[in-house]
A = this chain, B = another copy of it.
């Protein structure tokens, strides 16, 4: 039950984050297609952030599925993750408005890196509570995907000052990497469903 409320609150916050971003997509000033053209980078930033927040929701959902109970440390690790995610609308708005400048791209990367680190801290807090023989530990394993993502974000940040398109390409690659379903975790979940 405690866990249920953590999920409900996280769902609420993530649902709001993913939806208020669209408020940055201001209606065009004119009534024809030309008026929509300047919105294209804003729209693409929105799309990218929608996918990233969707990935976090998805992974959060799977992780909590393998979590039996929560404690104070987990609650705060979860809020810490939500804090970084809550900055996504801000970073997205800046990226959409100044999409050719290095700083908004770099700051967007920093934001993703911090959210990624916060996610690992949350996973660590859950595993610490469950013990090392936990189902989540088994499912996550060495978390190669998480480590690669973090390394790629860390790479994308300085590269924004070389060519911001490289950094943006990296963001798209990382998003794609997570969109492809992870058969191992899905298998674990099916297994867990059978055992419980």
Contacts and interface: CB of A to CB of B under 8 A. Distances in A.
Interface string A27-59: 110111101100000000001001000100110
B72 A2 contact: no
Contact of A2 (B20, B26, B61, B98): B61
A71 interface: yes
Interface stretch (A81-89, A133-141, A143-151, A166-174): A81-89
Given A25-B90, A61-B5, A186 B18 contact: no
Contacts of A87: 22, 25
- The dominant DSSP class at the A interface is helix
Interface residues of A, number: 62
Interface in A53-103: 54, 57-58, 61, 65, 71-73, 75-76, 79, 82-83, 86-87, 89-90, 93-94, 97-98, 101, 103
Contacts of A93: 26-27
